[in-house]
Structure 1
Amino acid sequence: MTNSPQPPARGPRRTGDRLLPVAGVLFGIGILAVIAIFVTSVVSDEAPGLWLYLLAMLAPVGFLLAIVFALWSGRRAR
């Protein structure tokens, strides 16, 4: 057993720290919906449902949230 120093404890998480995982999940759901729209068009003769198009709009929302996170968490140059 070594006497190595303990890593410093992290402070409380800020609300902005949760923004990137939320953005990733929304973007992923949107991309899966876009893939499902194409697969539905190829596999069947029916048009994809409206709910798939609504879910596909989550991809740009997630992308914008990721950009907001990047700008918000960036450090100012001094």
Structure 2
Amino acid sequence: MTNTPPPAGGPRRPSDRLLQIAVALFGIGILAVVAIFVTPIVSDSSPGLWLYGLAMLAPVGFLLGLVFALWSGRRAR
């Protein structure tokens, strides 16, 4: 018997969901940071407080990505 990988369309592990959440949170946070810098250029107003709140999702997503990397990289015994 040969060791063949499972099919690509197979069931996802729960840790794959963690990576998707981490990437989504990080992406939303980075877009909010970009919007914070673009808002004063486009308009004469300052960015809203909600943009600063969304910008705090970038480090949360980064930390979740680190947790995913450490969790999925551990060796099975």
Q: Between Structure 1 and Structure 2, whose CA radius of gyration is higher?
A: 1
Aligned to 2:36: 37
Aligned to 2:46: 47
Unaligned runs of at least 5 residues, structure 2: none
Query: Structure 2: which amino acid aligns with 1:18?
Result: R
Q: CA RMSD in A?
A: 2.4
Aligned to 1:20: 19
- Tell me how far 1:12 sits from its aligned partner: 4.5
- Tell me how far 1:7 sits from its aligned partner: 6.4
- Tell me how far 1:14 sits from its aligned partner: 2.9
Please give the alpha-carbon distance, in whole angstroms, between the structure 1 residues aligned to 2:59 and 2:19. 14
Count of aligned pairs:
73
37-46 or 26-35: bigger deviation: 37-46
Unaligned runs of at least 5 residues, structure 1: 1-5
Please give the alpha-carbon distance, in whole angstroms, between the structure 1 residues aligned to 2:58 and 2:6. 37
Using the size of structure 1 for normalisation, the TM-score is: 0.79
